[in-house]
Amino acid sequence: MHSAERIGKIFCLFRISMANTILIGAQWGDEGKGKIIDVLTAKADVVVRSQGGNNAGHTVIHRDAKYILHMIPSGILRRGKTCVIGNGVVIDPIALVSEMEGLRKSGIKIGNNLLISDCAHLVLPYHRVIDEQRELRKGRAKIGTTKRGIGPAYGDKAARTGLRVSDLIQPVLFSKKLQAKILENNSILVALGARPIRFREVNESYLAAGKKLRPFVCNTVVYLHRALQRGKEVLFEGAQGTFLDIDHGTYPYVTSSNTTAGGACTGTGVPPHRMDRVVGVMKAYTTRVGEGALPTEDRQLAATLHKLGREFGATTGRARRCGWFDAVATRYATMINGIDELAITNLDGLDHVDPIRVCVAYRLNRKRLNVPPCDAAQLDNCEPIYKEMRGWNQSTRSARKLSQLPSRAKDYVRYISELTGARLSIVSVGPARGETIIL
């Protein structure tokens, strides 16, 4: 082989094997994944969602406007990028059409830059009602779901009784399957005390949405493999966060998908050996929306952040619970996801907080724990062991290099990265694209 040809081939292999990035939330969701995806999209060709549905709310500031993306990958805001909704996502077709129309109204192009997997499962109206009713019945033990029907939709998928996008785009088949599903689910709805759902209305609205989505539907597995073969760089946009994972999270206070790195493979059909790096996104403190244990929760910190207008949910508008940085959790997240690089966001949230606490271990029944216990009640009883640090008491918003951060802020990000056990690669000091330090 000619040497230039060989170098070209090596370069091509290098491109193929070095560039595919899984981005995941290393805490309880809302870590600022949307903002970091937007930063990383500059170098990617394809952005893929692999799990979750419109329970997600990813905020991106683009040309001074704020966008909140729920099912469409955040890469859609950048020209020339292809966005894929993978097989592992659960799609509410009505909500997806409305998200597409909303983006179009803001001048965002949606055409051949969006692909939807024919294997993705559908969220149907009875899923939403069952989600709501189950929460109501649980009373104080509720999960605090987004009420988007996510749990029941994934439940149907696991039970092998779900409807998929491939059904939706075949009207006769869809109507037949839907009729049987509505009949079955209406008896559940009535038993739960809810009103039954009318087939005709659902059928009409879903078929209309299906017609609009049809041009985007394809075998996204084949698309992704071809893109990889051509040396395209793929960014896997995680939704939710590690501790909301159905297997590794604070069960039962979790969502119903694999939010951890493995979900990027099963939810897209791209095998593990094609993945090159995992970026874990974490806030400089901790937040959680919904119920379940949050060992480092601190009401005063929450009041401070809420007073600044921060930490209100992007999907439901609920005030997020806030706490100190929890290194027990993020260290475990590094283990589960194989995090190579860290993106720390919202450092500026701590600009005027002094002192700052960092949880280095838990105490449970006088024992020191370095990993979170599996049992939800035990996690609830864990007491954080804190290291206290002095705050920096000045704005970090204008820093664009690590050296421009106040020295205490620099020490803080280095310290929490060390505790987490991965290399620091990005520090975010504001919601906009430019308010970023890339190391």
The residues carrying an active-site annotation are 30, 58
DSSP string, 288-323: E-SSS--TTB-HHHHHHHHHTT--B-TTT-PBPEEE
Specify the residue, 25 or 162, whose C-beta has the smaller distance to ligand GDP. 25
Specify the residue, 29 or 75, whose C-beta has the smaller distance to ligand GDP. 29
What is the number of alpha carbons within 13 Å of residue 375 lying toward its C-beta?
Answer: 5
d(CA 422, CA 344): 11
Residue 376 binds ligand IMO, judged by CB under 6 A: no
Report, in Å, the least distance between residue 270 CB and ligand GDP. Answer: 22
Q: Please report, as residue ranges, which positions from 300 to 319 form the binding site for ligand IMO (by CB under 6 A).
A: 314
Residue 25 binds Mg ion, judged by CB under 5 A: no
Specify the residue, 165 or 333, whose C-beta has the smaller distance to ligand GDP. 333
Q: CB 366: neighbour CB atoms within 10 A?
A: 5
Specify the residue, 23 or 84, whose C-beta has the smaller distance to ligand GDP. 23
Residue 351 binds Mg ion, judged by CB under 5 A: no
DSSP string, 82-117: EEEE-TTSEE-HHHHHHHHHHHHHTT---STTEEEE
Residue 34 binds ligand GDP, judged by CB under 6 A: yes
If DSSP codes are grouped into helix, strand and coil, which group holds residue 405? coil
Specify the residue, 117 or 240, whose C-beta has the smaller distance to ligand IMO. 240
Q: Is 266 within 8 Å of 88 (Cβ atoms)?
A: yes
d(CA 203, CA 186): 15
Of these partners, ligand IMO, ligand GDP, Mg ion, none, which one is at the site of residue 93 (CB under 5 to 8 Å by kind)?
A: none
Which residues have C-beta within 8 Å of that of residue 308, sequence separation ≥ 6?
349
Q: Please report, as residue ranges, which positions from 253 to 272 form the binding site for ligand IMO (by CB under 6 A).
A: 255-256
Q: Is 35 within 8 Å of 345 (Cβ atoms)?
A: yes
Of these partners, Mg ion, ligand IMO, ligand GDP, none, which one is at the site of residue 345 (CB under 5 to 8 Å by kind)?
A: ligand GDP
Residue 280 binds ligand IMO, judged by CB under 6 A: no
- The amino acid at 226: R
Is the omega angle on the peptide bond into residue 355 within 30 degrees of 0, that is, cis? yes
Is the omega angle on the peptide bond into residue 215 within 30 degrees of 0, that is, cis? no
* Residue 341 phi, psi (nearest 5): -130, 150
Which residues have C-beta within 8 Å of that of residue 330, sequence separation ≥ 6?
26, 27, 280, 282, 416, 419, 420
Among 30, 92, 156, 233, the residue binding ligand GDP under the rule CB under 6 A is 30
Residue 268 binds ligand GDP, judged by CB under 6 A: no
Residue 53 binds ligand GDP, judged by CB under 6 A: no
Residue 35 binds ligand IMO, judged by CB under 6 A: no
Residue 175 binds ligand GDP, judged by CB under 6 A: no
Specify the residue, 96 or 163, whose C-beta has the smaller distance to ligand GDP. 96
Specify the residue, 29 or 210, whose C-beta has the smaller distance to ligand IMO. 29
Which residues have C-beta within 8 Å of that of residue 164, sequence separation ≥ 6?
118, 119, 120, 121, 122
Residue 38 binds ligand GDP, judged by CB under 6 A: no
d(CA 34, CA 432): 11
Q: Please report, as residue ranges, which positions from 98 to 127 form the binding site for ligand IMO (by CB under 6 A).
A: none
Residue 295 binds ligand GDP, judged by CB under 6 A: no
Q: Please report, as residue ranges, which positions from 300 to 339 form the binding site for Mg ion (by CB under 5 A).
A: 314
CA-angle at 167, arms to 164 and 168, nearest 5°: 90
Residue 59 binds ligand GDP, judged by CB under 6 A: yes
Report, in Å, the least distance between residue 66 CB and ligand GDP. Answer: 7
Of these partners, Mg ion, ligand GDP, ligand IMO, none, which one is at the site of residue 32 (CB under 5 to 8 Å by kind)?
A: ligand GDP
Q: Which residues of the chain form contacts with Mg ion (CB under 5 A)? A: 30, 57, 314
Contacts with ligand GDP, residue ranges (CB under 6 A): 25, 29-35, 57-59, 314, 345-346, 348, 428-431
Q: Which residues bind ligand IMO (CB under 6 A)?
A: 25, 29-30, 55-58, 143-146, 148, 150-151, 239-241, 244, 255-256, 289-290, 314
